[in-house]
Amino acid sequence: MRPPSGRERKKRVKKAGKIKESSTRWISRHINDPYVHKATQQGYRSRAAFKLLEMDEKLHLIKPGMRVVDLGAAPGGWSQILASRKMSHIAAIDILPMDPIEGVDFIEMDFTDNEAPDRLKAIMQGEADLVLSDLAPNTTGHKRTDHLRTMAIVELAWDFAKDVLKQNGAFVAKVFQGGAENELLTELKKNFKSVKHIKPPASRAESSEVYLVAQGYKQK
């Protein structure tokens, strides 16, 4: 998949009232983002849909008939992609509300809640072929704190994934600042045939986000 062209004439954002300079920059970047325009044109709920499409194009993550879990699903870009690919079942969760998508069982709940994993397992209808996590904590601006918070969520997602993945299943999780820590990578390499980091073109160049992709789960 080729990244959308950024040749469209850029729109300028006029500052109004007491809008912060950082907010003005974000709005300007958003309205001039070619992936935002392409998402609107193609009916996707967010530009994040293209991140999954690009990862799938390279790594062949999604196949018809799969049972998939979408962690951090709202507003639903990834679930839309999955639903269009004839999955066997899709279970999704987010702390934010999400408009219904046909074929997706959605739970509005904080994944860090102790009861969330069991709630998801109850609607999964069996083991998962693929666990996707686009979860991310609220950032503080302090790099070390944000990194620790991110890794805590990634580890929660992995703890869930290893309980529900079937043989040869895959796990994808968003990480930041250089990727997953060595301890987690070591554990994943013991449990999967292939573990790598990937930054899809749809991920903004200035963002430190990358995705950890583990394929070929070796079920014990």
Tell me how far the alpha carbon of residue 117 is from its chain's centroid.
17
Q: Are strands 89-94 and 67-71 parallel, antiparallel or unpaired?
A: parallel
DSSP secondary structure string for all residues of 84-113: TTT-SEEEEEESS-----TTEEEEES-TTS
Q: Would you give per-residue pLDDT tens digits along the chain (220 residues)?
A: 655 644 444 444 444 455 555 445 434 454 556 767 676 777 677 888 999 999 999 999 999 999 999 999 999 999 999 999 999 999 999 999 999 999 999 999 999 999 999 999 999 989 999 999 999 887 777 777 777 888 999 999 999 999 999 999 999 999 986 666 788 999 999 999 999 999 999 887 777 889 999 999 998 7
Domain-wise residue ranges, the chain: 14-43, 45-217
Instruction: For residues 201 and 196, give the distance between their C-alpha atoms in angstroms, rounded to a whole number.
Output: 16
Give domain 45-217's CATH number out of 2.20.25.160, 3.40.50.150, 3.40.50.10490, 3.40.50.2300: 3.40.50.150
Instruction: For residues 140 and 121, give the distance between their C-alpha atoms in angstroms, rounded to a whole number.
Output: 32
DSSP secondary structure string for all residues of 167-212: EEEEEEEEE-SSSS-HHHHHHHHHHEEEEEEE--TTS-TT---EEE
- Would you please indicate which residues are annotated as catalytic (active-site) residues? 174
